[in-house]
Amino acid sequence: MKMMQMNIKSIDEIREEMLDTVTVSKSDIFRISEQCRQDYDNITNELASIKQVMVKLNEEGTQLEELVKAARHKLSEVSMNFKKYSEEEVREAYEKAHQLQMDLSINLQYKKQLLEKRDELERRLNSIHQTIERAEQLISQISVVMNYLQSDLKQFGEAFETAKAKQDLGLKVIEAQEEERKRLSRDIHDGPAQMLANVIVRSDLVERVYRERGGDEALAEIQSFKKMVRSALYEVRRIIYDLRPMALDDLGLVPTLRKYLRTIEEYHNNSSIEFENIGQERRLPAKYEVALFRLIQESVQNSLKHANACEIKVRLDITDTAVNVLIKDNGIGFDTSKKKEGSFGMIGMRERAELLEGKITFDSKIGKGTSVQIQVPLSS
């Protein structure tokens, strides 16, 4: 027994050392990733500037080609009628043709240099993008390892025989959590983070428009700027709701649903979302409220995002013994007999309902909209 305790202590010490090493590695990779992102943004801006200069050079080159053509024609005329022109006119024709040809050569050389620079920057962007993706993969993998190392692995004496099964289950749970974190990270990066970066660019643009074109056009830019900020705010709120609506703990399912659906309707001006509670408005155990909210949330999001619905009806009925929910839309519908490859939305919703010993059914036809019915029994 004493020997087993010593072995457990040794394993704990090794685990702590591994955890410290992995934590440092994760921080290093994160710093590299952030530096790569900064380099990516800088190169992107430099590339945009080069493309602007190239547009101007192409315009100047076209003008110079026309001028060189005219100057050569003039020089040919002077050469053929040498006696008709004074020495000064002849010299001026030669010098002008020579200077224009030099300007055109410089223009072409500069364009060649910029093309080489553009190609080099595009190669660097591609390389940095691959580095960022690889860093994100490594951080995700390291997070799985860290979560596993931080798990309670100390108390495994008598349960040693079942450790392998628990380990497999634990890893699957951790991987699922990490996938969710990755999805959330991607949502933030593609949504609010990208929009806020655009906000900075647009604010600079408003200043420039105000200086160069006056107040009226600047005001129009500000209106567009406000729409962008509003969209960013919506994305942040959506992500918060995806994590866990704060009102759910404080107010309960019915008020939170009412507020959530009203907010969604406000940000989708072309859609009408009707909510009807025909049953009791009372608190349910937390696991029921969270699961039911998620199921209704995903159904409504599917109606808006995939079905292009403009009318959605949500009906909630809480009784003493069960909760019944109906979500109906007028969207494009789908064929329920066909499974979309790589899509686990319906499977995940069924599993969530089954965890509450309930069931969920989908009724849909192409062009006829979709109805989602959820039935969950309440334990007495």
Residues 151, 6: one domain? yes
- Give the per-residue pLDDT at 256: 87
Q: End-to-end distance of the chain based on CA atoms, in angstroms?
A: 46
- Give the per-residue pLDDT at 373: 96
For residue 177, is it within any domain? no
For residue 298, is it within any domain? yes
DSSP string covering 314-332:
EEEEE-SSEEEEEEEE-S-
The number of folded domains in the chain is: 2
Percent of the chain whose pLDDT exceeds 70: 71
For residue 241, is it within any domain? no
313 in helix, strand or coil? strand
- Give the per-residue pLDDT at 5: 46
For the full predicted model, state whether its pTM sits above 0.85: no
For residue 144, is it within any domain? yes
- The DSSP secondary-structure symbol of 301 reads H
Q: What angle do CA 96, 99, 105 make, to 5 degrees?
A: 140
Residues 276, 131: one domain? no
- pLDDT band of 179, cuts 50, 70, 90: low
Of 135, 155, 175, which residue sits at a domain end?
155
For residue 218, is it within any domain? no
Residues 261, 122: one domain? no
For residue 37, is it within any domain? yes
Of 99, 132, 155, which residue sits at a domain end?
155
Residues 138, 19: one domain? yes
Residues 135, 19: one domain? yes
User: Could you read off the pLDDT of 119-155 as tens digits, one per residue?
Assistant: 888 888 888 888 878 777 776 677 666 666 555 444 4
Closest CA to 163 of 1, 155, 6, 18: 155
51-57: average pLDDT: 86
Residues 34, 137: one domain? yes
Tokens of 192: 């609010």
Distance CA 330, CA 369 (A): 4
Residues 147, 253: one domain? no
Residues 11, 150: one domain? yes
- Give the per-residue pLDDT at 370: 93
- Give the per-residue pLDDT at 177: 54
Distance CA 276, CA 314 (A): 6
CATH number at residue 36: 1.10.287.1490
Residues 138, 265: one domain? no
| The most confident of 75-84, 87-96, 195-204, 249-258, by mean pLDDT | 249-258
Tokens of 31: 């710093």
CATH number at residue 339: 3.30.565.10
154 in helix, strand or coil? coil
Residues 373, 270: one domain? yes
For residue 324, is it within any domain? yes
- Give the per-residue pLDDT at 57: 86
Supply the range of the domain harboring residue 308: 246-377
User: Could you read off the pLDDT of 299-348 as tens digits, one per residue?
Assistant: 998 898 888 899 999 999 999 999 999 999 999 988 877 765 444 567 77
Of 155, 190, 206, which residue sits at a domain end?
155
23-27, 31-35, 55-59: least confidently modelled range: 23-27
Distance CA 313, CA 257 (A): 12
Residues 270, 370: one domain? yes
81-110: average pLDDT: 81
Longest dimension (CA), the chain: 119
Average pLDDT, the chain: 76
For residue 148, is it within any domain? yes
- Give the per-residue pLDDT at 78: 74
198-202, 217-221, 249-253, 361-365: least confidently modelled range: 198-202
